[in-house]
Amino acid sequence: MRVTVIGCWGGSPRPGGACSGYLLEYDGRCILLDCGAGVASAVQGVRPLERIDDVFVSHFHHDHVSDAGVMSYARLVHRQLGLTDRPLTFYAPGRDERGMGARDLAMRGASRSVEVGEGSRLDVGPFHLEFMRTRHPRLCLATRVSCDDGTTLGYTADGALTPELVRFLGGVDVLVSECSLYAGYDGASFGHMSCEDVAALGRGALPGTLVLSHLPIYGEVRGLLSEVGAALRDLPVRVVLAEDGAGPCRTCVDAGVA
């Protein structure tokens, strides 16, 4: 399984970048985890939109879902042109605290929606997915993905550090973790994680590779890599700072490959 960072910024993107979006590929099949601002455009630098039939939306904050509508419009056009005969499928939580839910993502002739929740298990081609609710101001689902070859990926989406999250994501080959705040900030009060929280997550979950993402749009984000890397230097955990179109290169990680 290969994961490519399409967007890595929290709240809004830096120039040339995109908010949360992660492309997973295995055996010729593609799925997308989240589709925040800029993802629909940026992902086309990796794969054409008509190749992506399945999108998993962790929650209904704009930096994770705002491009769902434009992806549906693109699918409508691509179906009319005969480039694909498949509807785009969104998998998303049910009604949240503000009344948004999976059914709001469906567009006639273009896309359909499937509701998922904590404890849900799905098989989408070679991908097998499980979900857990995180501690966040809006209903949000972390995701654990396994493939037919046994490789695994974890995605925190947004949420504070909890023992349940550590257990749910433990032992994955690649862990894509939000890293929203610099050292010294209380992540729990925001429903997010600071780099110190992410280091604790890495120490508890022991992934093969820990990808720091959902990055702050202010400050020097490479400092986050230094902080987390130093905290985990005694462990066999590779720490990577996510980069997208706003950086010199796009982050791409193969699960199960050291």
Q: For 98-152, how does the pLDDT look when each residue is reduced to its tens digit (9 = 90+)?
A: 999 999 999 999 999 999 999 999 999 999 999 999 999 999 999 999 999 999 9
pLDDT value at residue 249: 81
pLDDT in tens, 155-182: 999 999 999 999 999 999 999 999 999 9
Contact 239, 203 (CB under 8 A): no
Nearest CA to 59 out of 89, 22, 100 is that of: 100
pLDDT value at residue 257: 57
Nearest CA to 61 out of 92, 103, 85, 84 is that of: 92
Domain boundaries, the chain: 2-254
Q: Give the model's confidence band at 246: pLDDT under 50 very low, under 70 low, under 90 confident, else very high.
A: confident
The model's pTM? 0.96
pLDDT in tens, 234-243: 999 999 999 9
Q: Exposed, middle or buried: residue 27 (CB in 10 Å: 0-12, 13-18, 19+)? A: exposed
| Contacts of the segment 79-82: beta carbons below 8 A, 24+ positions apart | 79/109, 79/110
Residue with tokens 């999250």: 165
Q: Which two tokens stand for residue 88?
A: 């785009």
pLDDT in tens, 42-68: 999 999 999 999 999 999 999 999 999
Domain covering 2-254 assigned CATH 3.60.15.10 in the classification: yes
Q: Exposed, middle or buried: residue 118 (CB in 10 Å: 0-12, 13-18, 19+)? A: middle
pLDDT in tens, 12-46: 999 999 999 999 999 999 999 999 999 999 999 99
Contact 168, 133 (CB under 8 A): no
Q: Is 69 or 248 the better-scoring residue by pLDDT?
A: 69
Answer yes or no: is pLDDT of 72 > 60. yes
